[in-house]
Structure 1
Amino acid sequence: MHDQQAPRRGLTLVTAPEARSIDYIPADERHGKLWHQGPFWFSGNFVLTTLVIGFIGPSIGLGLGWSVAAVVLGACFGTFFMAVHANQGPRMGLPQMIQSRAQFGVRGAVVPFTAVIFVYVGFNVFNTVLAAQGLARIVGGGPWLWYPVLAVVSVVLALVGHDLIHFVQRALTGLLVLVFGVLTAGTVVQWWDAPIVAPAAGSPWTSFLTVFAAAAGYQISYAVYVSDYSRYLPADAAPRQVIWWTYAGAAGSAVWLMSLGAFIGNHMPADDAVTGLLRSGDGIVSGFGSVVVLASALALISVMGVNTYGAMLTAVSAVDAFRRDRPTRRLRAAVVLSVGVVVLAVALSLPDDYLAGFSGFVLLMLYFLVPWTAVNLVDYYVVRKGRYVIRDIFDDQGIYGRWSWRGLASYVMGLLAMVPFISTTFFRGPVAEAMDGADVSFVVGLLVSGALYAVLADRRPGPPAAVAPLSISVDLHSPTAAGRPGGYAGARPVKKESGNAHGPGKSTGRSDRPDR
């Protein structure tokens, strides 16, 4: 039953506001197909912010060949760590970040939550600026017009939720492939023999590692999203296929756009990504640049909804850790609106020179997210081997506790170990200085946090996956365990409902904490 889909109700299901947020998705609400992960992550990563990563190499004097090699290797490396999180969604039936409670404790998980919310807001700020630039160049208007409009659209997408976002992402995939396929072919043919306008300068090795780290960090930053959009898949979804479709979509779009950005940046001086696309497109056919920019703006608007939705899930998870309450639609709406307001305020205050700031932002994301992804993946694949008590993830008196020193210590030690290897415009560690500014901190963070957590977790008292009453034990070797009827997403006993959205007398296995 790897690709079976639950009965659908056409556009009604897509446009109906999602009933759930951070709670467990029971078996009779699972739907979707494995291949949906491919176009979702392709469109989700096929945005101008991805193109900007390709501009970094030319901006620091790295030649075209080395720039393309750096972004390709960096994107493929970073996407691996992002994609292997995808299997957690169908197995655990939970959003990505709330799963961190098993490693950091119910309240301790707020530590990585803070960094993740920063990532969501930061991406939406840059996406807002880029989309507004594109729309202003084509149809006129300025930040005070487009920033609020973009914020409203992203808020609406996030309020409707999972199915609408998936639908929009799939619909955009064909358009983006067509438009950017023509753009890429035309740009390469047009400028293949054109002179390079970004001559190499400085140490190629240092520049190569800088671009590699930026591309890898950009892809790893998507790890915090992954299960949010795979958790509705059937619990017995084939792990390799879930991971492969996620990897193919995210890595494919990253390699394509980052390489295109490097090519444009090396052959044509451009103040920003929008200018580069306009000149490239109009060089093929007059007016085609506007088509490219409009398609890019649509993709940015969609992914802004993705980011707002993820920020809502993470923020509600943080609130739930300290205030035991039902994650109602009112709470979700309040958080989504708050995210939109913060993004709007930051975007309006952002300086014009955002490209240098974006490069630094991507590196900061890498520093804070690498230790988290190492701890999370080691716990899932090595320590617990996919077995979790879902109920206790919502219970600060459960087996995961409020604060887990093992996860927190591994996270903090990984961050500290990275410091000597960090190389940014505002700080350079001693090891990075000795390596002429080369930044390999992400490798250190992965190894230190992952290895330390594996050692500490192996010494915990009792079995790593104890099973409590009224819990759901999710086992990699028994994939249907997560779909048992009567499963529970919270810390209180299950209550069956006599009537719900699936029809009278049909139980969804929901708890007394439904998202309504």
Structure 2
Amino acid sequence: MSHPGTSERDSVIEQHSIDYVPGSERHGKVWHQAPFWFTGNFVLPTMVTGFVGPAMGLSVGFSVLAIVVGVLFGTFFMAFHANQGPRMGLPQMIQSRAQFGSRGAVVPFAATVFVYVGFLVFDTILATQGIQLVLSGGKLFWYPVLIVLAIVIAVVGHDLLHFIQRWLTYLLILVFAIVTIVAVVHFATVPMVEAAAAATSGWNWTAFLVQFSLAAGYNISYAVYVSDYTRYLPAKSSAPKLITAVYLGAGVSAIWLMSLGSLLASYIPNADPITSLQQIGDLLVPGFGTFAVLVSVVALVSIMGVNAYGAMLTGTSAVDGFREVRPTVRLRVIGLAIVGLVCLAIALVIPDDYLASFNNFVLLMLYFLVPWTAVNLVDFYLVRHGKYAIAEIVKPGGLYGRWAWRGVTAYFIGFAAMIPFFSTSFYVGPVAELLGGADISFIFGLVVSGGLYLLFCRNLNRSAEATAEAKSNQELEGVAHP
């Protein structure tokens, strides 16, 4: 992979993709990460995740408890990836080459593209439903329009995404603070309707674990995004402050919106994110609910840009592992166009009952990403302690090899260890059946994958890497400034 050779400062459009960001082009502030991840997580699919507990018979109080514990747990793994961006100057997933090899990394790459495209599809569907409250036109019109808009944002790239996410935070907080207050006051004074009361009767151990797993898995899924948006920060950015900013942004927004979703689903039978939000908002002033939905649509389009951007980076990294590419703007546009077409095709054929599909999607994300995040974090914090030969990572045939058996083996064994604990609508593992359908697979995935990788790396020869590390920075900065 060769460097594009054009300075980021020469164009409004971002020039970098899967290549290294040199020190002279680092910019941004650590605190910006908090609003970025707040808005990134403050979208309607997050609210939908909160519907699950009440739908399975869990009371609103226990649903919120499961959400809080799940989000606090899942965000821990996501936030600790943030420190990798400024230290390595690379997008999140290409860093996996150090653990899996340039071709072995295709394993987590495939899971990651699944995450990006899945979120793009659900975001497109929800955004279209929101727009149709005020504008005519079917999905054959709005799906392409929304996808093209998201791709344009992603083409401009990193700085525009940060700008939009940061300023949307203030509007989202204002609008949803009003919606939340209205919902709490209204439901505190209105008796729960009979259908909702019967459906959310109280404690259910299985439902609690499912809601916990979905909340945790939802935020763990953002682990594959994080360094894409921290890699432009100065290399000496404070790790504790950065991790805290990401944790607070992603954690607070998820707890807030998922909890609001649980409240709505507890009082509104067969709750739908669009109509429920409109209904509650209109209790304040007729039309305010529609306004709240439209604000949510803007946030959805923004996160669609984030998802398209990440899918492009991961897809390009995968191709580069087999055929070296030059990460130009033209290649980024082609990659984004492919992502958009795939998203459009899936969105057009997905069943109307997207809520059931979404729940399975979140669980599958959890299954595929837990072994990867365990291996990646163990390598960064416990094995290599953040020290890598970056120039060798960006070379498909570099020091880290094409197939790294330690990471690949730990991933697959960890994944296999989770299978008996899987619990989805189409497959329930034998242990999950004994637990009444409760899903605790992520615990075994984290422990087995992370533990095995650490064990496999006991005899890792770091001497060759140490020599390469000494040359890496000079080589990269030299390429960046010919």
Query: What is the TM-score with the length of structure 1 in the denominator?
Result: 0.89
Deviation at 1:374, TM superposition (A): 0.1
Of 27, 31, 37, 1:31 maps to 27
For 1:114 and 1:238, the matched residues in 2 are separated by 32
Deviation at 1:142, TM superposition (A): 1.8
For 2:269 and 2:279, the matched residues in 1 are separated by 10
Deviation at 1:271, TM superposition (A): 4.4
For 1:462 and 1:90, the matched residues in 2 are separated by 22
Q: Which runs of 5+ in 1 are unaligned?
A: 1-11, 473-483, 496-507, 511-516
Structure 1 equivalent of residue 3 of structure 2: none
Q: Count matched residues.
A: 471
- What pairs up with 1:160-239 in 2 under 5 angstroms? 160-196=156-192, 197-198=196-197, 199-200=199-200, 204-239=204-239
- What pairs up with 1:59-208 in 2 under 5 angstroms? 59-196=55-192, 197-198=196-197, 199-200=199-200, 204-208=204-208
For 1:27 and 1:413, the matched residues in 2 are separated by 38
Deviation per CA, 1:78-123, whole angstroms, max 9, x where unpaired?
0110000000000000000000000000111011100100100000
Of 473, 476, 480, 1:488 maps to 476
CA contact (8 A) 2:360 2:424 kept: yes
Deviates more, 1:181-190 or 1:387-396: 387-396
For 1:327 and 1:236, the matched residues in 2 are separated by 26
Select the structure with the greater relative contact order (CA < 8 A; seq sep ≥ 6).
2
CA contact (8 A) 1:15 1:164 kept: no
For 1:64 and 1:255, the matched residues in 2 are separated by 13
Structure 1 equivalent of residue 331 of structure 2: 331
For 1:215 and 1:459, the matched residues in 2 are separated by 37
Q: Which residue identity lines up with residue 455 of structure 1 in the other structure?
A: L
Deviates more, 1:241-250 or 1:319-328: 319-328
Q: Which residue identity lines up with residue 374 of structure 1 in the other structure?
A: A
CA contact (8 A) 1:179 1:292 kept: yes
CA contact (8 A) 2:20 2:89 kept: yes
Q: Which residue identity lines up with residue 89 of structure 2 in the other structure?
A: G
Deviation at 1:263, TM superposition (A): 0.4
* Partner SS, residue 234 of structure 2: coil
CA contact (8 A) 2:390 2:469 kept: no
For 1:345 and 1:325, the matched residues in 2 are separated by 27
* Partner SS, residue 339 of structure 1: helix
Deviation per CA, 1:316-345, whole angstroms, max 9, x where unpaired?
111111111211211111110000111111
Structure 2 equivalent of residue 352 of structure 1: 352
Q: Which runs of 5+ in 2 are unaligned?
A: 1-7
Counterpart check, 1:509 vs 2:477: no
* Partner SS, residue 431 of structure 2: helix
Distance 1:284 1:13, change over 3 A: farther
Q: Which residue identity lines up with residue 333 of structure 2 in the other structure?
A: A
For 1:391 and 1:220, the matched residues in 2 are separated by 28
Distance 1:217 1:194, change over 3 A: same
Q: Which residue identity lines up with residue 312 of structure 1 in the other structure?
A: M
For 2:136 and 2:175, the matched residues in 1 are separated by 22
Q: Which residue identity lines up with residue 72 of structure 1 in the other structure?
A: V
Structure 2 equivalent of residue 286 of structure 1: 286
* Partner SS, residue 352 of structure 2: coil
For 2:464 and 2:451, the matched residues in 1 are separated by 17
Query: What is the TM-score with the length of structure 2 in the denominator?
Result: 0.95
Q: Which residue identity lines up with residue 57 of structure 2 in the other structure?
A: G
Q: Between the two proteins, what is the percent identity of the paired residues?
A: 57
Deviation at 1:243, TM superposition (A): 0.4
* RMSD between superposed Cα atoms in Å: 1.7
CA contact (8 A) 2:37 2:249 kept: yes
Structure 2 equivalent of residue 479 of structure 1: none
Structure 2 equivalent of residue 505 of structure 1: none
Distance 1:15 1:156, change over 3 A: farther
For 1:338 and 1:359, the matched residues in 2 are separated by 26
Q: Which residue identity lines up with residue 481 of structure 2 in the other structure?
A: G
